[in-house]
Each structure stands twice: as structure tokens, then as C-alpha cells.
Amino acid sequence: MPTPIEQRYIDAHPKCADLYATSKDLFPNGVTHDARNLKPFPYFVSHGLGARKWDVDGQEIIDYKGGHGALILGHSHPEIVAAVSDQMTRGTHYAASTELEIKWGSLVRELIPCSEKVRFHSSGTEATLMALRMARSYTGKSRIIKFDDHFHGWHDYLLAENTGDGGVPEEVKGTVTSLPVNNISLVEEALKADDVAAVIIEPTGAHMGLWPVRPSFLSELRELTERLGVVLIFDEVVTGFRTSKGGAQGYYGVTPDLCTLAKILGGGLPGGAVTGKAEIIDMIQLRDDPSFNANTRVGHNGTFNANPLSAAAGAKALELLSTQPINDRATAAANHLKAGLNDVLSKLEIPGCAAGVGSAIFLRLGVDHECDQEVCLMSDEDQHKVEDRTVRHQLELAMYSNGADGGQRFIVSSVHTDRDIDETVEAAERSLTAVRAQGLV
């Protein structure tokens, strides 16, 4: 029996239901990305513009999914559309180098503090896989340290201890150690083994910052890895060009050896990159040394690496970020939203908070606590309470029916207006009231 929140969603979306009836026999679970799984059925979008998108049933939605974090400029930004449209008339793939890739790479190097050289890919998963290979080749060591529940893509190595690791050989899992975050003593103990090539971390915390990292932990990691000769990798697929235009490393003033980029990097099109110290990136570079080339060099192909369409969109996006206050606008909108959500929680007397770094905001419900509304550190027990799946599911459906695609995570863009934020806060109040009526908060 559907809940009242579910029934409202079902009644308003008959076309989405019809499309799901077709898609569930075509795709696993009827979707093409795990994050799009939604019961009773996912929504199907027809188009987007600015901070809004429209589903096939005609519902207008204020969007806080933001292309899974890729769209800090919003949907269909006119300068991105023009850049891609112009390139389409010139060709989509030359199997050759272009001036565009030089412009794109130069902008990465201008904006990202650790960037000395760049290698482009087609996704964040490819970028993190390449960063590990570079680190292993560079150090001659094999083990990787990651942190519990930090997500670095779906390739075998970094799925250690994450869910959905079917098909990953135990031998591969055995090369990765996963540790609790924010405890530098545990990292130091693990590094005593002297077989660690790299430490990789989501610098604002697991799942885009949902489980936060204490900022001082990043400085502690930098000092420790530098002292012991271990490569430090910041996975900035989400935070790159979002936490600040220089990423989390620019925001916190902690420079890793390598970082991985995607999402905003591609301007809304597929694109990924590894950047960092030239001597590590150059493990890809051919040398006048047949033995190195055969046995040590990291080979790398990729049909769509730095393809002209992604390069055109990505270069234009980074040009806008470098010359306009894009990050300031997105962060200001996020702060407006954060304040409004906290006011709603106070008004409804619901324990919790809205907190987050930069333009990524998380709504944590069910635990009365103190935090600075930026880095909200909780005990593991309390963090699990605020991650209640039933509450999260019902709130997401209620928010969608009330006109905002957010739930408990809001990825804010530079084109969200005061009107968008005010309407979202109103939607949150109505949605939380509906969730409370079901006895969930």
C-alpha cells in the first residue's frame, strides 16, 4: 500500500510510470545510473533551463541534482550551448590533437593549485583509476589507502568496503586498505608497512561531503604523506571548481600531489582528468628508454580523451569560472538556502541541521546537535541516524511533488535565484510537514 506521499507522486506522473514500464524491461531496475533508482518509479525529464527542469508529465522542478554535480552553470547555459553548437559544425572527432585541448588544459593548470601537467579522460572513474596507476608506477609500491565509504568511481580497486562490489576479485581488494576518516594515528600506523603507494580521499568527506572530513585532517595527511614519500591524491571530481574555483585544495590551502577531476570540468559533457606533479603525470610519457616504456610506463589510450565537443564545453566553462564570480554566486545561493532550511527546522521543532561546504548542502534530520553549519561532525551512531533510508526516500518524493528535486542533498548552482531558494524553502516546510504526518520525524 503506497504512503500518502507516494500516492501523490504516482497520481501526478502517469507518463513517467508508462516510461518506467518500458525501461524496466530494457535496463536493470529501469535506470542507467544507480543514483536514479527511485520507488515507486523514477521520473523522466524532457528538458532543462537555468536552475529548473521539466519532467515528461509537465511538472516544473527546481533542480538540486545539477547533473550529479556537473552543472554549476545550470542547464543549457547560452555560452556553453554556443560553444558546443559551433564545434558541432566543425566536427566531433578528429583522432588528432587540437588547439582546444591546449586551452582546456591550460585553464586547469591556471585554476588548480597542484596542477603542473594534465591528462584528460572521459569520466571521474577513469581519472581515479589512472591516478592509482600513476602512483603505483611512480613509487614502485602497490598498496592504496582510502577512507571508509569514500566514493571514487566504480572500478575494482576503490570499491573496497563499498557496497556493490560483486565481481571484484579478492586479490584486488587485498591491495586496498580502508580506514576511518579523521584519525591520523590510524593512517600513520598503516603507513608503517612501507608498501603504500598512495592515499586517496574525498577532501570534503564521503559522498560529496555528507560524512565530513575535519579540515585539519587534510593538513595532517599532507604532512604525513610528504614526510614518508607517499603520494597524496585528492579526489576532486565533485569539489573541483565547486568548493572554490581552485577546488577544495584551493579552499583549504592544502596541495596534494595529484588530483582527479570530472563533472564541472566537462561543462556538462563527459570529461575527466588527472593533474598534479609533472614527475608523476609523466609516468605516461614515452622516454628514450625501451625498458621503461615496456615495463614501467603507464600506457593510456581512450577514444574520447579531450574530444573536441567536451573540450569546447569544458574550456568555456572554466573560462567563465576564471573570469566571473560563478563560485561566489553559487555559494551565496547555498548559504541563503542553508539559512532558510535551518529556519524551517527550528519552526517545526525538528532536530537536525542544514550544513555544508561551499555550494553543496546536506539536510541532517533526527539528531539534536551543535555544528558550525559548514563542517558538521557527528558520531558514527548519530550519522547513521540522520541517514535513515525511509526518511530520505519519503522526503525526496515529497520534495519532488512540491517542486524541488533535493531531498537531503542540495547541489546549488550559480543560477539559482532568490525566488528559487525561497520556493525551495517553502517546499521543504510542506514536505517535512508531510513526512512528520507519517510519524517519521
Q: What is the full DSSP assignment across 294-349? A: HHTS-----TTTT-HHHHHHHHHHHHHHHHS-HHHHHHHHHHHHHHHHHHHHHHHT
**Confidence check: pLDDT of 139 > 80:** yes
Closest to 157 measured CA to CA, from 128, 195, 186, 179: 128
Cα–Cα distances (Å) from 359 to 35, 233, 331, 413, in that order, read 20, 22, 5, 7
107 pLDDT higher than 80:
yes
**Whole-angstrom distance, CA of residue 117 vs CA of residue 280:** 9
Burial 15-48 (b: 16+ CB within 10 A, else e): ebbebbeebeeeeeebbeeeeeebeebbbbbeeb
Q: Pairing relation of β-strands 360-365 and 352-355? A: antiparallel
The CATH class that applies to domain 78-323 reads alpha beta
In the chain, domain spans: 4-75+326-437, 78-323
φ, ψ for residue 51 (rounded to 5)?
-95, 10
User: What is the structure's pLDDT at 161?
Assistant: 65
Residues with Cβ within 8 Å of residue 293, at least 6 apart in sequence = 286, 287
Q: Is the pLDDT of residue 313 over 80?
A: yes
Q: Which residue has the cell 533526527?
A: 366
Query: What angle in degrees, to the nearest 10, is found between the helix axes of 78-90 and 308-323?
Result: 150
Residue 156 has pLDDT above 70, yes or no: yes
How many secondary structure helices (H) and strands (E) does the chain include? 18, 16
CA–CA dist 197, 142 (Å, integer):
6
pLDDT, tens digit (0-9, with 9 covering 90-100), for 255-278: 999 999 999 999 999 999 999 999
Residues near 201 by beta carbon (within 8 Å), at least 6 away in sequence: 146, 147, 150, 181, 213, 218, 221, 233, 234, 235
pLDDT of 66 reads 95
| Residue 25: predicted pLDDT | 96
pLDDT at residue 162 in the model: 66
- What confidence tens digit (pLDDT) does each residue in 230-239 have? 999 999 999 9
Please choose, from the candidates 299, 275, 308, the residue with its C-alpha nearest in 3D space to the C-alpha of residue 106. Answer: 275
How does pLDDT run across 395-437, given as a tens digit for each residue? 999 999 999 999 899 999 999 999 999 999 999 999 999 999 9
How far is residue 71's CA from residue 242's CA, in Å, rounded to a whole number?
Answer: 10
The CATH fold of domain 4-75+326-437: Aspartate Aminotransferase, domain 1 (3.90.1150)
Mean pLDDT calculated for residue range 84-97? 97
Q: Is residue 187 over pLDDT 90?
A: yes
Residue 150's pLDDT band, with cuts at 50, 70 and 90, is very high
Distance CA 301, CA 299 (A): 7
Q: What's the pTM? A: 0.96
pLDDT band for 386, please (50, 70, 90 cuts).
confident
Residues in the chain: 441
- Give yes or no for residue 157 having a pLDDT over 90: no
- What is the pLDDT of the chain when averaged over all its residues? 95
Cell output for 421: 531558494
Q: Using an 8 Å Cβ cutoff, are 235 and 208 in contact?
A: no
Mean predicted confidence (pLDDT) in 334-352: 97
pLDDT digits (tens, 9 = 90+) for 6-18: 999 999 999 999 9
d(CA 241, CA 46): 27
Q: Taking residues 21-26, report their average pLDDT.
A: 96
| Secondary structure (3-state) at 362 | strand
Bond into 2 cis (ω within 30): no
Tell me which residue of 220, 415, 230 sits closest to 326, measured CA to CA: 415
Q: In sequence order, what are the residues at sequence separation of 6 or more whose Cβ sits closer than 8 angstroms to the Cβ of residue 232?
A: 198, 199, 221, 222, 225, 226, 256, 257, 258
At 86 the pLDDT is 98
Weakest-pLDDT range from 7-21, 150-164, 282-296:
150-164
Cβ contacts of 24 within 8 Å, gap of 6 or more: 30
Q: Report CA-CA distances (Å) from 243 to 223, 311, 377.
A: 22, 22, 18
Percentage with pLDDT > 70 across the chain: 99
What is the reported pLDDT for 104?
98
| Phi/psi-derived region of residue 424, left when phi > 0, alpha when psi is between -120 and 50, beta in every other case | alpha
Contact call for residues 62 and 52 (beta carbons, < 8 A): yes
Distance CA 166, CA 198 (A): 24
- How does pLDDT run across 188-202, given as a tens digit for each residue? 999 988 899 999 999
